[in-house]
Structure formats: C-alpha cells, structure tokens
Amino acid sequence: MRNPGGYAVWTDPDVARDKERDTYTCKHHNGVIIVEPGDQSWAYCNGCDGKICPACYAEMARIGKCVSFERKIEESERKDRLRRQLLGDYT
Amino acid sequence: MAIYTATGQRTASASAAVAALENPASGPVRGFIYRLTFGSEATPADNPYLWQIQRSTTLSTGGATTPGPIALDGADAAATLTFRNGALTDGSVTANAMALSVPLNQRATFQIFLGPGEEIVIPATANNGAHIRTPTATALAVTTTCFFRQ
C-alpha cells in the first residue's frame, strides 16, 4: 500500500516469519483497517483529505457529503462543554 | 503532548473488557492511541479469539486504576485519562463502534503501530473512552499494552 498510516505485526511461534500488514485509519469512523496484499478497496475523500473505508464511502455516496470523524467528535465535545457549563462543572 | 503507556491484564471474559482508557467526568482531554499489543501469557494452546477496541460513553467500574498510565518522559504530569484493568465491569459501550477488531490465536502476539494523524482518537468528552475487549475469548490469561498521548 502506498503511504500506509500504520503497521501491524503478528508473531506466532508456529509460523517461521512474522506476518506483517499495512494499515490505514478511516477518516470518517476512525476505525483501523488492516490491508491485505493487493487489497485496493479503500477510497479517498477529498472533503477530509484522507483514506476512508468502503462502508464509509458507501455512506458518503448515499448522503452526498463528507462527514469526517473530526467533525463528529468536535460536535460531541461542543455538546459536552455546553452540558458541563450548564451543570456548573466546566473545567 | 505527553505520551504514556499502560498495561492491562485479566482472565479473559466475553462479557467484560480487559482494560478501559477513559476520560474523567470533568476536565476531559483528547486521547490518541498510537500503539497496542495484544497477547496471552497462558500455556500455549490453540484457541482462536477476538480482540476489539470499542468506544464507550460511560465509565467502567471495579478493577484497578493503579499503577495507572506511566509517562514515558518522567518530567510529564500524570495522565488525565484513566486506565482501568483487571476485574472491571464495562461502561456503556457503543454498539458497532469498533476502532479495531483483530482475530488472534492464543499462541500469537499482535502489535500495531499507528502513525501521526492515524491514531485511535478518544474525544475530549466527559466519561468517553475506549474499552479493550475480548468478546469471544474463553477464560485464559491475556495482556494488552497501550501507548497513547494526550
């Protein structure tokens, strides 16, 4: 894989060599995807400028826009800050 | 940003996590898991089981929070994120919110290294975190080591 985002290694005493695979992290659901050799199933999102998994690509095609994980957690954090401000335990 | 490491051990359970990395109820911060190790220290045998990182929205209970995450630079302050392991009871894990899912044989050890911008992110939201689970394991001794920054 060109420009992998990560690297996974399996060490098994029954196997002569370690198994090694590239990984990428989907920019839409922040899940780590382990890429088998020859697998080209990932997609690229121009909205968040990163690789996304086939399931998130299908969802993006369905709703017609990029919803990045960064945007999702910013929303979650904004709601949490507001909730804690209202409850008086904002830190 | 400071970087930390923490190790969780327990007799694997299909219904309770091995460890949980979580934000406190106040003063949450973003956490970035960039390296993980999964394995079993039990007598070698052929047992396939699954490791998962699943997002959570409420705090786990029980187990142990000591010694807690260790700062790799001794000059850094203690971690804000708590790492609970041992005989813990899960918090509310989010269905289908898997950040990583790895089937593994008991004989094997798995390590993953995630580059900058590719980490598993824990949002700076109160009580949110990630549970490291073995949802299909039989009762065997398992260990996970988690490296993260905040």
User: pLDDT digit string (tens) for B84-143?
Assistant: 998 888 899 998 889 999 999 999 999 999 999 999 999 999 999 999 999 988 888 999
Give exposure, A57-77, as e/b (b: 16+ Cβ within 10 Å).
beebeeeeebbbbeeebeeeb
Which of A23, A69, A79 comes nearest B121 by C-beta? Answer: A69
> How would you classify residue A76: left for phi > 0, otherwise alpha for psi between -120 and 50, otherwise beta?
alpha
Contact of A33 with A42, CB cutoff 8 Å: yes
CA distance B148 to B3: 6
pTM, to two decimals:
0.94
B41 CB near a chain A CB, below 8 Å?
no
Confidence (pLDDT) at B78: 95
Taking the CA atoms of B14, B15, B17 and B22 in sequence, report the sign of the dihedral they define: positive
Taking only residues 45 to 74 of chain A, the set having a beta carbon closer than 8 angstroms to any beta carbon of chain B reads 50, 69, 73
* The Cα angle at residue A42 between residues B55 and B32, in degrees rounded to 5: 35
Confidence (pLDDT) at A90: 61
Confidence (pLDDT) at B95: 87
What number is the average pLDDT over the span B60-69?
A: 89
Per the structure block, which two tokens stand in for B31? 């956490």
Q: How many CB atoms lie within 10 A of CB A20?
A: 10
- Evaluate if residue A88 carries a pLDDT over 70: yes
Provide the pLDDT confidence category of residue A1 given band limits of 50, 70 and 90. confident
Task: Classify strands A50-52 and B141-149 as parallel, antiparallel or unpaired.
Answer: unpaired
* B126 SS3 class: coil
Average pLDDT, chain B: 93
Determine the distance in angstroms separating the CA of B111 from the nearest CA of chain A, rounded to an integer.
5
Q: What are phi and psi of A16, to 5 degrees?
A: -65, -40
Query: Which residues of chain B neighbour A4 with C-beta distances below 8 Å?
Result: 115
- Evaluate if residue A3 carries a pLDDT over 90: no
Confidence (pLDDT) at A7: 95
Which amino acid appears at position B109 of this protein? T
CA distance B67 to B46: 32
Model pLDDT for residues A10-51, shown as the tens digit of each residue: 998 888 899 999 999 999 999 999 999 998 888 999 999 999
- Evaluate if residue B12 carries a pLDDT over 70: yes
Nearest chain B alpha carbon to A27: B118
A84 CB near a chain B CB, below 8 Å?
yes
Contact of B133 with B46, CB cutoff 8 Å: no
Provide the pLDDT confidence category of residue A91 given band limits of 50, 70 and 90. low
